[in-house]
């Protein structure tokens, strides 16, 4: 159990958060959304399947999609080729297949994350090394959870929000179905701040004791980014982490979620807070963040989100790394 004293929490302004009334189940009663209602029903039913069954079905789903030359498979193959040049072609292909099978398990576990009751979510997802969090809180620091894009990050973030008020960011979707599912991330009181909204609400929330569940390893273009090596490849890397940490007197505590094999559920692991962070140079802090993420990726390479175009933006208008050969 986390310990943080008697802190007060400031919830974000309504215009900058997910308005829960925007998309409700009633939305799907309209005939144009009946397909989404069917998908929702399937997701809810799947969420009640035992974890070993979800693991078997998820592996089968991932294996099935690995048979096709889908965009996700192509991007994952290219990313793994760029990041693990020391592997042989056969080793890289096997890693891609392992990634797709693990992704199938993660997709089916989204139903658990979004719809399973609290008691089942606590049983499925375990927390490890919470003493790193308590150490940061004992020093009077606020907390930023550095959560890289591992495939289990949704279920991990929702599990953390059951014990602590959490604030996070999201991009609004035009799809009513996706928007409704994104809302489910806040079902235990987490506040979701729109990605392009003012940072004022976010900073106030952190200063008032909410933990910031932050996913910074994404390519949002050159603006507000520097090119920092990620597995030796220059990657557009946001510098906001060090600035937010400095502004809010927050300890940056890395947080990774692992899907355990054979249906044993998931595990959220907290790592020691980054020492001497921020260091005064946002560009160097960004490089350090990438080095830290690399370390965790190497521990479970099949569970990183390789299907994301991490190297989309290129320095000096270099050609795309994802062009078809």
| pLDDT bucket at 131, cuts 50 / 70 / 90 | very high
Going by their DSSP bridges, the two strands 191-194 and 166-170 should be labelled as: parallel
Mean pLDDT of the chain: 89
pLDDT at 1 over 80: no
User: Model confidence over 137-159: pLDDT tens digits?
Assistant: 898 999 999 999 999 999 999 99
- Would you list the domain boundaries of the chain? 14-317
Q: What does each C-alpha distance from 215 to 122, 254, 307, 324 come to in angstroms? A: 23, 10, 16, 29
Q: How much is the pLDDT for 9?
A: 34
How far is 46 from 203, CA to CA, in rounded Å? Answer: 37
How far is 141 from 205, CA to CA, in rounded Å? Answer: 14
Q: How much is the pLDDT for 196?
A: 56
Q: How much is the pLDDT for 20?
A: 38
How far is 104 from 74, CA to CA, in rounded Å? Answer: 16
pLDDT at 17 over 50: no
- What percentage of the chain exceeds 70 in pLDDT? 92
Three-class SS state of 269: strand
Q: Which tokens go with 135?
A: 């150490």
User: Model confidence over 76-113: pLDDT tens digits?
Assistant: 999 999 999 999 999 999 999 999 999 999 999 999 99
Bridge partner residues of 250 (DSSP): 142
Q: Which tokens go with 221?
A: 């273009």
> Which residue bears the tokens 């399947």?
49
| pLDDT bucket at 325, cuts 50 / 70 / 90 | low
User: Model confidence over 65-82: pLDDT tens digits?
Assistant: 999 999 999 999 999 999
| pLDDT bucket at 27, cuts 50 / 70 / 90 | confident
Q: How much is the pLDDT for 198?
A: 66
Q: How much is the pLDDT for 22?
A: 62
User: Mean pLDDT lowest for which of 122-126, 175-179, 254-258, 315-319?
Assistant: 175-179
pLDDT at 171 over 90: no
Q: Which tokens go with 255?
A: 């947080």
pLDDT at 180 over 80: yes
Spatial contact of 96 and 235, defined as CB atoms under 8 Å apart: no
The distance from CA 255 to its chain's CA centroid, rounded to whole angstroms, is: 10
Spatial contact of 9 and 207, defined as CB atoms under 8 Å apart: no
- What percentage of the chain exceeds 90 in pLDDT? 72
pLDDT at 14 over 70: no
How far is 127 from 267, CA to CA, in rounded Å? Answer: 6
Q: Which of these, 201, 220, 263, lies nearest to 10 by C-alpha position? A: 201
Spatial contact of 252 and 274, defined as CB atoms under 8 Å apart: yes
DSSP 316: G
Q: Which tokens go with 42?
A: 């399937």
pLDDT at 269 over 90: yes
Bridge partner residues of 253 (DSSP): 145
Q: How much is the pLDDT for 2?
A: 52
Q: How much is the pLDDT for 222?
A: 86
User: Residue 187: what are its φ and ψ, rounded to 5°?
Assistant: -70, -15
Spatial contact of 5 and 138, defined as CB atoms under 8 Å apart: no
């Amino acid at each position: 159990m986390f310990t943080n004293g008697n802190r007060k929490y400031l919830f974000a302004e309504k215009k900058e958060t997910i308005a829960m009334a925007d998309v409700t189940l009633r939305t799907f009663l309209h005939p144009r959304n009946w397909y989404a209602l069917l998908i929702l029903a399937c997701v809810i039913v799947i969420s009640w399947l035992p974890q070993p069954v979800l693991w078997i079905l998820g592996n089968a789903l991932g294996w099935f999609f690995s048979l096709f030359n889908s965009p996700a498979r192509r991007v994952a193959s290219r990313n793994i080729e760029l990041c693990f040049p020391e592997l042989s072609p056969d080793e890289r292909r096997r890693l891609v297949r392992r990634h797709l099978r693990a992704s199938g398990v993660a997709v089916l576990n989204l139903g658990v994350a979004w719809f399973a009751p609290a008691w089942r979510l606590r049983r499925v997802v375990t927390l490890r090394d919470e003493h790193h969090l308590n150490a940061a809180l004992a020093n009077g620091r606020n907390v930023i959870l550095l959560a890289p894009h591992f495939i289990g990050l949704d279920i991990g973030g929702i599990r953390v929000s059951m014990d602590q008020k959490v604030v996070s960011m999201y991009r609004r979707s035009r799809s009513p179905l996706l928007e409704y599912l994104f809302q489910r991330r806040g079902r235990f009181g987490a506040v979701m701040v729109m990605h392009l909204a003012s940072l004022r609400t976010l900073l106030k929330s952190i200063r008032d004791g909410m933990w910031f569940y932050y996913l910074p390893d994404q390519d949002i273009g050159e603006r507000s980014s520097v090119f920092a090596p990620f597995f030796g490849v220059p990657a557009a890397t946001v510098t906001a982490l060090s600035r937010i940490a400095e502004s809010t007197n927050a300890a940056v505590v890395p947080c990774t979620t692992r899907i355990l094999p054979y249906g044993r559920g998931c595990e959220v692991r907290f790592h020691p807070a980054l020492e001497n962070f921020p260091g005064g140079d946002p560009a160097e802090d960004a490089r350090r963040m990438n080095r830290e993420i690399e370390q965790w990726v190497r521990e479970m390479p099949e569970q990183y989100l390789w299907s994301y175009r991490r190297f989309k933006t290129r320095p000096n208008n270099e050609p795309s790394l994802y062009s078809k050969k």
